[in-house]
Amino acid sequence: LSVPVRTDSLHALLAPRSIAVVGASSDPGKAGGRPLHYMLQLGFQGELYPVNPRREEVLGLRCYPSLAELPAVPDLCVIAVPQADVESYLEQCGELGIKAAITFASGYAETGDEGRAQQERLRDLALEHGIALAGPNCLGLVNVRTGAAPTFTTALERRPRLEAGPIAFLSQSGAVGAFVLGMVQDQELGLSHFITTGNEAALSWPDYARYLLEDEDTRVISGYLEGIDGAELVSVATAAREARKPLVLMKVGASVAGAAASAAHTGKLAGADYVYDAVFRRHAITRAHSLDELLDFSRALSMPTLPAGNGVAIVSTSGGAAILIADWCERLGLEVVELADETTARLRETLPWFASGKNPVDTTGRPLWDEEMLHRTLAAVAADPAVDVVLCHVGLAPGPARRIADEFVRAAAASDKPFLACWLPEIDPEPHGTLREAGIPIFADPVRMTKAAAVAIEYVNACRRAEEFGAPAPVDAVSPPPGNVVAEHDAKRWLVENGVTGTQEHVATSADQAVEHAAAIGYPVCLKLLSSDVTHRSDIGAVRVGVGSAAEVNVAYDDILRAVETHAPGADVEGILVQEMVEEKGVELIVSGFRDSVFGPCVLVGIGGVLAEVFGDTVVRPAPVGVAEARAMLDELRGAALLQGPRGTSPADVDAAATTIARVSALIAGSPEDVQAIEINPLLVLDQGSGVRALDALVTRIPKGETA
């Protein structure tokens, strides 16, 4: 649980002007020496107060015997002492009015119950004194612009430099954080903040994220997550979208082994991975599946302008790379646009005589010694109205690299469209620096450039969709009939009462009654077992369809009872359902409202019956959704074409299906917490105008005393 945090305390932690280090040491290998060493290296301009009663001077700085004897109250105290002493120093911070503290010490919740209790005491102290406490068991943090670096990550030992830039990196893992920091340095990526959250005794990932949304130096928040409170993440994502600061997140723990390791590592619940996917998609969070992707996507999303559409121009000094990029554009749904005649004419004037002037534009290697040609080519394609983004493969150009960079930037500066470059780092760092300063992201693989461009386009689309669909409407509280398993008839009746179209049906408790019901409904009918104890009825032969006469009803009735005796002896039989036989052909869907352990109510739609299982063709959203969003869910199904009436069949009633999805989503969202799932399977979608029929339904509750 998160502690309410004062903004001024967070500011003292993340942008401190004065920093005390208790346990200060001159040894840059020690936790009390390394942060001081790094801050001196990075040129931190604020005050540094080493605190150690056994020293007069540390790394050339005046050392103080105690926190109480400092000449001023520092913004931040780095508590670099053995674990046993951390608590008392934190208390001192509180007494002296120090607003922020950080400790790297381990031995807390990650080691078991005793450590957890110690961690809770740190939390209580922070809460009591209003201290923004980072850690414990973290690797610290860095404010890249100011050089404030209360961290002991070895990444800064490996390379002492950090570039300032618009990306904040916010990691729940220290070691992954350090590794990414190393990658950031190797790739010369610019950061605003580097933050590892550690055990999150007091401050948690969302607290930092909210600060970064207000931070002027930060344009993109890039993060590594193992577990998080779902509502908090959604709230951060919503604020981020409103501020147009993209979130790029890697969330691990998707696999069985990974989730178990994650639980062991952090004690946090993993939640269903496909629900993370759904929430990310709904809330315009970009998901990275590797560390390379995390940085590539962050880099692309930190461009000052994002693409307005998916029209791509490819300019390449290598014909082969042009083909490769075009292949990936198609795979990722980007359009390699046909250039206007005027553009092609301009290109023909510029390029070698045998060049086609078509998109993808193969310039041949000539621009690598004729930079003007590169400029003219880039300017021509950027001016084309169909083009939203320019992907340029430079390759490598050790000779005239500076001039190439200048011409590249000149073309980009004259356009209001984003440019991305693929260019291996040259030995001379200046050319790449020139591009970076102009906000042009650089990649070392043409495919990675193309994927990053696709992600930037999708981010803009996701924001657009989120605005279009709006915030979910409030839902009325509802309550399904009682019972841990509400079987078909009751479940369907309740759904019909709540606006879902079902089938005519009645419960029979004798064969004669079944014949009566069938006559009232009209032949043919279906007969189905009603029993909470049997969930997959067709597996045991307890469903009979196309029952055409009174005589057949009698036979089917007996057959079903016999099937129960054979395959589910002892099952509680509530009756036999006699049901209208929906003869019209239609598409079967599964529509399910369910409750995720992390994000709460969700709604799922899939191409129904056996296919949903076999092809795993389902789409999920956090619930509730409106009808427009439900329609978008149907469009996202791989089998969406089945609803559009393939091969001479009639199109299905997509509107009615979407209305049902929206309705089910509102029902799960309005149900009490113990309702685990509201499932219609199948929902038969009839021809356009003919609506839908819920043919079967089930509501399940979590038995008291258990958790999801």
C-beta closer to a copy of itself: residue 244 or 638: 638
Closer residue to a copy of itself, CB minimum distance, 34 or 489: 34
SS3 594: strand
Q: Are 449 and 421 in contact (CB under 8 A)?
A: yes
566 scored as a contact of a copy of itself (CB under 8 A): no
Shortest distance (Å) from residue 20 CB to a copy of itself: 26
Contact 195, 157 (CB under 8 A): no
Helix (H), strand (E) at residue 665:
helix 654-670
Residue nearer to a copy of itself on the CB measure, 68 or 641: 641
**Beta-bridge mates of residue 684:** 588, 693
Which residue in 111, 114, 46, 109 sits closest to 78, CA to CA? 46
* Closest-CA residue to 12 (of 70, 141, 99): 99
Q: What is the nearest approach in angstroms of a copy of itself to the Cβ of residue 51?
A: 25
Binding mask 395-414 for a copy of itself (x = CB under 8 A): xxxxx---------------
Of residues 639-698, which lie at the interface with a copy of itself (CB under 8 A)?
A: 639, 641-642, 646-648
Do 133 and 90 form a contact (C-beta atoms < 8 A)? yes
Question: Using the rule CB under 8 A, is 538 a contact of a copy of itself?
Answer: yes
Residue 161 Cβ vs a copy of itself, minimum distance, rounded to whole Å: 12
Residue 598 within binding range of a copy of itself, rule CB under 8 A: no
Burial 293-329 (b: 16+ CB within 10 A, else e): bbbbbbbbbbbeebbeebbbbbbbbbeebbebbbebb
Return the number of the residue (273 or 533) whose C-beta is nearest a copy of itself.
273
Enumerate residues 350-379 that contact a copy of itself by CB under 8 A: 353-354, 356, 358-360, 362, 365, 368
Q: What angle do CA 140, 142, 144 make, to 5 degrees?
A: 170
Q: Minimum distance from CB of 320 to a copy of itself (Å)?
A: 3
Query: Which residue's CB is nearer to a copy of itself, number 18 or number 153?
Result: 153
Minimum gap (Å) between residue 256 Cβ and a copy of itself:
7
Would you state the structure tokens that stand for residue 381, as one six-digit string? 């394609």
* Contacting residues for 615 by C-beta, under 8 A, at least 6 apart: 607, 638, 639
Write the DSSP symbol of residue 148: B
> With respect to a copy of itself, which residue has the nearer C-beta, 242 or 584?
584
Binder among 7, 45, 88, 111 for a copy of itself (CB under 8 A): 111
Q: Which of residues 181-210 bind a copy of itself (CB under 8 A)?
A: 182-183, 186
Return the number of the residue (5 or 155) whose C-beta is nearest a copy of itself: 155
Q: Which stretch binds a copy of itself (CB under 8 A): 125-133, 155-163, 504-512, 693-701?
A: 155-163
Q: How far is the CB of 387 from a copy of itself (least distance, A)?
A: 14
CB 420, min distance to a copy of itself, A: 15
Q: How far is the CB of 448 from a copy of itself (least distance, A)?
A: 7
Among 6, 62, 244, 289, interactor with a copy of itself by CB under 8 A: 289
Q: How far apart are CA 239 and CA 198, in angstroms?
A: 24
Asked if 344 interacts with a copy of itself (CB under 8 A), we say no
Which one of 383-391, 483-491, 539-547, 694-702 is the stretch in contact with a copy of itself (CB under 8 A)?
Answer: 539-547
Q: Which is nearer to a copy of itself, 466 or 684 (CB)?
A: 684
> Tokens 């009918």, residue?
525
Using the minimum distance from each CB to a copy of itself, give the nearer residue, 394 or 462. 394
Q: Which of residues 165-184 bind a copy of itself (CB under 8 A)?
A: 171-176, 178-179, 182-183
- List, as one string, the DSSP characters of 626-646: -HHHHHHHHHHSGGGGGTT--
Cβ closest to a copy of itself, residue 7 vs residue 566:
566
- State which residue, 362 or 490, has the beta carbon closest to a copy of itself: 362
- For the CB of residue 333, give the shortest distance to a copy of itself in the complex, in Å: 11
What residues form DSSP beta bridges with 222? 169, 248
Find the helix or strand (DSSP H, E) in which 62 lies: strand 61-62
- Show Cβ contacts of residue 591 under 8 Å, excluding neighbours closer than 6 positions: 603, 604, 605, 657, 660, 661, 664, 679, 680, 681, 683
Residue 552 structure tokens? 């057949």
Q: Hey, which residues between 423 and 482 contact a copy of itself (CB under 8 A)? A: 424-427, 444-448
Which of 47, 91, 229, 327 lies at the binding interface for a copy of itself (CB under 8 A)? 327
Decide if 134 contacts 76 (C-beta within 8 A).
no
Tell me how far apart the alpha carbons of residues 651 and 452 are, in angstroms, rounded to a whole number.
36
Q: Which of 71, 320, 522, 689: binder of a copy of itself (CB under 8 A)?
A: 320
Q: Which of 47, 85, 87, 157 binds a copy of itself (CB under 8 A)?
A: 157
Residue (41 or 554) nearer to a copy of itself, CB = 41
* Residue span binding a copy of itself (CB under 8 A) among the ranges 43-51, 329-337, 471-479, 681-689: 329-337
Q: Cβ 470 to a copy of itself, closest distance in Å?
A: 31
Neighbouring residues of 362: CB distance < 8 A, sequence distance ≥ 6: 316, 318, 319, 322, 355, 356
Q: Which long-range contacts (CB under 8 A, 24 or more apart) does 642-647 make?
A: 642/587, 642/607, 643/587, 643/685
Stretch that binds a copy of itself, among 77-85, 125-133, 260-268, 375-383 (CB under 8 A): 260-268
Exactly one of 45, 255, 549, 597 binds a copy of itself (CB under 8 A); that residue is: 255
Q: Count the residues of the shown chain that bind a copy of itself, applying the rule CB under 8 A.
A: 96
Report CA torsion sign: 444, 450, 455, 457.
positive
Applying CB under 8 A, the span of 214-222, 510-518, 537-545, 674-682 interacting with a copy of itself comes to 537-545
Q: Which is nearer to a copy of itself, 160 or 703 (CB)?
A: 160
Q: Which is nearer to a copy of itself, 224 or 557 (CB)?
A: 224
The full DSSP string for 94-137 is HHHT--EEE-----SGGG-HHHHHHHHHHHHHHHHHT-EEE-SS
Of 42-50, 533-541, 590-598, 661-669, the window that binds a copy of itself (rule: CB under 8 A) is: 533-541
Does 257 contact a copy of itself by CB under 8 A? yes
Position among 73, 213, 239, 323 found at the interface with a copy of itself (CB under 8 A): 323
Least Å distance, CB 426 to a copy of itself, is 6
Options 50, 166, 246, 253; binder of a copy of itself; rule CB under 8 A: 253
Relative to beta strand 220-225, strand 163-171 is parallel
CB 196 within 8 A of CB 174: yes
> What is the C-alpha to C-alpha distance for residues 66 and 689, in angstroms, rounded to an integer?
80
Residues from 609 through 638 that contact a copy of itself (CB under 8 A): 610-611, 613-615, 617, 638
Beta-sheet pairing, 311-316 with 389-395: parallel
CB of 510 to a copy of itself, least distance (A): 27
Q: Does 585 bind a copy of itself (CB under 8 A)?
A: no
Q: Which residues of 675-695 are buried (b: 16+ CB within 10 A; e: fewer)?
A: bbbbbbbbbbbbbeebbbbbb
Count of beta carbons in the 10 Å neighbourhood of residue 555: 14
Which letter, b or e, does each residue of 54-81 get, where b requires 16 or more Cβ atoms within 10 Å of its Cβ? Answer: ebeebbebebbeebeebeeebbbbbbbb
Q: Give me 3's structure tokens.
A: 């502690």
